[in-house]
Structure 1
């Protein structure tokens, strides 16, 4: 780029007066050539004459201003030498050898991350299938490069991989899973109550169907039937009921869901991570409500849990739903200007939980 500018600048500057030089003052150009030749000779008093790139560009720029029959008398080089300089200049311009490292350029970190993401989210894809998807996304990368990335990360680049893990299965089947579990509530007088909670994985919608001190199988079956009738049309999208091996469920409990063409999935004993969403919702209920209230009796527990259920479904934001509550289907309104609007607080359970909204 710099070499090209060294030639273009004097060439452009000399183009303007060229018309006048050809009309009778061409000898001024000859003088410029002679003066520059003198400068070159003074710079090298001993040894052979060597022309620097700047000298070559200067002579090339003046070459178009000298009459051809005066070349042999004025120019220190022949036209063939001038053309050889030009060929050398063009060759150097398009020679990327010095500007290019040896071997194939390294794959960027972003491409590597995308390759590993595709392999993680699609466990049955091999390195060639991943390469095809990358090509469709506009990333030109060799299949061997994808193979090396997967192999370096400890992933099998071959297309035969094991089936999805439980976490991957739950992620892909989230829209069709509802989880159930019993959890206990200790009252102020030392008694123990039990509540049956259901959580839809896809929408994160919470349902607490009842509170009782005697969680019998008959009660559980009745709560299951009530839930299936309350779900209405939404139950058509549910395909699996995920529960543990608690004997309070029983066959009749499962039959209530199997009648809706749902399959029953059971988690292994002492494996809470197999029903992680259920464990998290029970932990949220305790941390945000039950741990801060002395429960007196069943009626009091029902009141607390019903208020929390409304708050959870209608207001509480969820990261997996882009900070939307389960019952919301669109993004909230645009933020108000803090200088002109005031957020209003709504107290839930006497201020134990707060909800904030702007005045309409």
Structure 2
């Protein structure tokens, strides 16, 4: 399914939520005036990189607050992010958009980057993911930093929590440590009276930057196309890609598979997408803006694919609301 043809017949609300010390600011963007159709709200976060709960001097603790420069937070007046703000913001957005079918998505790279992670590995990450409770997750390349053996207990914990993990281009048949892992290519969620397909994708050169063992990765774009075709055959006509491939690949994916998909929720490149008129509570010179939120890719048949990403380290939470027609 796609947003109805033409900007005049579909409506989009988009915002990046900035997690500041004193407030939470949203900057929305609306196209068209019609709210007819089925609303879907995607609340998303990516590349948390194990930022934890208690401040530690001289240690970057990435579920904790961070500075505007993404380093240690020493001046409380300038602190942003932190797991408490992330939790509060996601809950607030779910409540605010309850009537617009909210889904919370985590786009991977929850591992690596702090002393807490080095000491506790997957345990601390799983505990905090449990608190945030995403509807669907994908994996990032850093989830393989300590081999499939280091990833396996984390996946088992997510399964206990009934949090589905999706990666369409991952083949685990030859990896004994992941023989019990329940990673799917996609999941179909019943949202309101509609079916929403979520396809996962991981950077297909992860084996060059992490310890993937006997896990192999196929071309992410080809894998997404094939999985989207299967979902279409199942009469699933709203398709979201949860991608840990980076912004450049996501834009390529929108161009090459855009006839089959509707939204790409991205990660990996730590890209900040922000509208030019957005108001944020601190100087974004520390966070290079790489495009509008969302980037809109228009296909030849006027089908529009929306590409999003929300920087990294819990500094931003993305929120996108799209209205879909019945087709």
Same fold, TM-score > 0.5, yes or no: no
Q: Which of the pair is proportionally richer in helix?
A: 1
Query: Relative contact order: is structure 1 or structure 2 higher (C-alpha 8 Å, sep ≥ 6)?
Result: 2
Bin the TM-score by the shorter chain.
Answer: under 0.3
TM-score (structure 2 length as normaliser): 0.25
Question: Going by fraction, where is strand more abundant, 1 or 2?
Answer: 2
